Amino acid sequence: MKIEWRVFVKDFYYNDDLPMEAVNFPYMDGIWPNESAAFAADTGRWSPFSCQPHILMSNRFKLNLTKLDQGGVEFEAQYAGTPDINKLVGEEVCFDIVAKDKNGNVIRDWDSPMKNSPVVTLIFKNSDANTDSSKQSWNADPDGFTWAKVTFNGVPLTYDPAKDEFYIEPSKFVEGKVRICLKHTKALSGVQLDIKDKQAFLTNQTSANMNFTVDAITNYLVEVTPSIGGQTDPGIYLMRRYEIVVSPRDRYLNVSNVMIRTRFSARFPGEFDNTLPGLADIFSGDVFISGPTNYFIASRIAREKGKMDPQWIRAYSATDPNVYGQTNPYQILDHAPTIFNLLTPADNSVINLTAAAMQEKFTWQKAVPQDPYTNIVISRFDPTTYSDAVTYELRFIDAVSFTRTIPYASDRSGIDEFYTTNHGQLAGIIDQMSGLSSTLSYDVIWYVNATDGLYNTFSNPPNQDPSGRHGYRLRLVKNGILGVDPNSTPTEYQLSQNYPNPFNPTTSINYALPKAGQVSIVVYDLLGATVKTLVNQYQNEGNYKVTWDATNDLGQSVTSGNYIVKMVTGNYTTTRKMSLMK
């Protein structure tokens, strides 16, 4: 209710039958010494004909009276419920918040210290603009990341980052109302501003849904997907595919799905490969990008940190070069197979060759990992891992002249870290090295080469050997070497390396069967095509030898090159590589 009150004066000693009248005599200095004296009644001077007026001050006063029952705050109805509020990121949205009692009356003295009104707490719903710490949302630029803030008269409200809460003090309310404004720079839909302290009698304590859309494209995010475990300064491997991800963004780093014509440049643009499969040619012309887009490229020049300047790639708008983004500088690493040690036979060993079928095994360490390029995830969108396949080649070199080398792939076509041979093949090395079949002994050096198809790493020795050795020295001695003993029963399956190898025009292959079974021995070329079937029959246990005359199944001579001989019997399968040199 509203009332208005005034002061009326009447001389009750004079009855003129007139109604009471309002008077407004101003107090004037000099007539009365003070207001009290001016208010002293002087009935003798108050008459309908003449009077010495009593000085009295009276003005109209208005008073609003509200009977209040409980209290809280809510959004004005037009800012709650529907319709949604649609804005670009960074555009200001303002709301009026009003204090009301249980009966819907506005509490106009909400700001009164005597009322002891609580601080209003505001929180965001359906928004992580202030809590998202992902790389795409934050960087060192204070305006270059997503954020949301609430202001009063242009000044940010008190904010608790740990709770992501904003606070409105009662003193900011005027006549029971306060206007706040917010800016939200992350592109999200369904964002709401919520009054944390709920009152059951208030129905508008959550704002309308706010939908914030991406603004115009002003920059790109260009990133190299790390290839060595996710370091902040990732390395890329030479001549191996790697991924760059390009995302057009607005000024607040929201990724835009608007199509934009884009070009690419690099610090060293001539160093990218175009021979590996699955590579994108992004440097030859314009490409069209919408949202995060990935490309696979490869570098053919190593650029290791501290040795050469790093590489970088830039993406920019084809219509406005000032709209661009650039990768962090990144290094391109060599990745030769890991160094490994020779094991057996030990350095300066002697092998007495007594029977052609008697086996000898050369072994070496298998490094873990065998190659730095192992279990590499090259794409953030695909968990597939990639590894370089490392194969081994055992090499015998002439210990006297160092001019002759005889190589052999390790077991299983170079996969295993050992090589199984026999005395017959080792005797053939004596003959080849010396050039005479009558030579009874010869000194050789053996070492192993590991390759991933791009790099080669020698064993230790010779690699990093402090004594400068070329490998392990080995003396081979023909000591009554005999042929295969047909009466001996082998204890394990065995496909020996062919002898001689390399060969022309024929070579012998020894194999052993610890038990009877169906046996298949077939020669293949390196493409996997069948060249010659040497054995395809049931055989009893024992030692066997088969000869290949470098012809195919049609009896035609084959060309020089490498071939694979594969033996299959029961669950046993193994291969050897043979070299035909005409």
Candidates 224, 253, 486, 268; CA nearest to 380 is 224
pLDDT at 552 over 60: yes
Question: Which uninterrupted H or E stretch holds 419?
Answer: strand 418-422
**For the chain, where do the domains classified as CATH 2.60.40.10 start and end?**
219-333, 335-483
pLDDT at 211 over 90: yes
Neighbours of 577 (CB within 10 A): 20
pLDDT at 461 over 70: yes
Work out whether the CA dihedral 67, 69, 74, 78 comes out positive or negative.
negative
- Residue 558, pLDDT score: 94
> CA geometry: angle at 142 spanning 141 and 146, to 5°?
95
> Would you place residue 53 in the very low, low, confident or very high pLDDT band (cuts 50, 70, 90)?
very low
Calculate the average pLDDT of the chain: 85
pLDDT at 141 over 80: no
Q: Give Cβ neighbours of residue 187 (< 8 Å, ≥ 6 apart).
A: 89, 212, 213, 214, 250, 252, 254
Strands 235-237 vs 219-224: parallel, antiparallel or unpaired = unpaired
473: amino acid identity, one letter:
R
pLDDT at 451 over 80: yes
CA distance 55 to 309: 96
pLDDT at 75 over 90: yes
- Indicate the DSSP class of residue 436: -
Mean pLDDT, residues 70-99 taken together: 93
Domain spanning 72-213: CATH 3.10.310: no
Mean pLDDT, residues 404-418 taken together: 92
- Residue 138, pLDDT score: 41
> Would you place residue 142 in the very low, low, confident or very high pLDDT band (cuts 50, 70, 90)?
very low
pTM exceeds 0.95: no
Order across the sheet with 155-156: list the strands: 72-75, 92-100, 177-184, 148-152, 155-156
Q: Specify the CATH architecture of the domain 219-333.
A: Sandwich (2.60)
Q: How many CA atoms lie within 13 A of 392 on its CB side?
A: 26
Mean pLDDT, residues 195-200 taken together: 93
CA distance 342 to 365: 6
Mean pLDDT, residues 90-115 taken together: 93
282 class by beta-carbon count within 10 Å (0-12 exposed, 13-18 middle, 19+ buried) = buried
Q: Give Cβ neighbours of residue 286 (< 8 Å, ≥ 6 apart).
A: 261, 262, 263, 318
Main-chain dihedrals φ then ψ at residue 175, nearest 5 degrees: 55, 35
Task: Give the distance, in angstroms, between the CA of residue 494 and the centroid of all CA atoms in the same chain.
Answer: 48
- Residue 525, pLDDT score: 94
The per-type count for the chain, helices as H runs and strands as E runs, is 3, 42
Higher pLDDT, 131 or 344: 344
Mean pLDDT, residues 149-159 taken together: 94
Candidates 103, 30, 117, 17; CA nearest to 68 is 103
Mean pLDDT, residues 40-51 taken together: 43
- Residue 22, pLDDT score: 47
Owner of token pair 């050469």? 308
Higher pLDDT, 383 or 12: 383
**For the chain, where do the domains classified as CATH 2.60.40.1930 start and end?**
493-582
Neighbours of 310 (CB within 10 A): 19
CATH for 335-483, options being 2.60.40.10, 3.40.50.720, 3.40.50.300, 3.55.40.10: 2.60.40.10
Alpha helices in 143-236 (DSSP H): none
Question: 493-582 falls under which CATH superfamily?
Answer: Macroglobulin (MG2) domain (2.60.40.1930)
pLDDT at 303 over 70: yes
- Residue 485, pLDDT score: 54
Mean pLDDT, residues 391-397 taken together: 96
- Residue 44, pLDDT score: 40
Mean pLDDT, residues 265-290 taken together: 94
pLDDT at 502 over 90: no
- Residue 228, pLDDT score: 62
- Residue 462, pLDDT score: 95
> Would you place residue 50 in the very low, low, confident or very high pLDDT band (cuts 50, 70, 90)?
very low
pLDDT at 439 over 90: no
What's the pLDDT tens digit per position in 352-390?
A: 998 888 899 999 999 988 998 988 889 989 999 899 999
- Residue 496, pLDDT score: 86
Strand partners, 94: 181
Candidates 185, 229, 241; CA nearest to 210 is 185
- Residue 581, pLDDT score: 87
pLDDT at 536 over 50: yes
Check if the beta carbon of residue 157 is closer than 8 Å to that of residue 168.
yes
Mean pLDDT, residues 214-219 taken together: 95
Long-range residue pairs from 432-439, CB within 8 A, at least 24 positions apart, any chain: 432/404, 432/406, 432/500, 433/396, 433/398, 433/404, 433/406, 439/478
> Would you place residue 35 in the very low, low, confident or very high pLDDT band (cuts 50, 70, 90)?
low
- Residue 66, pLDDT score: 52
For the chain, state the CA radius of gyration: 47
Share of the chain above pLDDT 90, in %: 62
What's the pLDDT tens digit per position in 170-181?
A: 999 999 999 999
> CA geometry: angle at 276 spanning 270 and 277, to 5°?
130
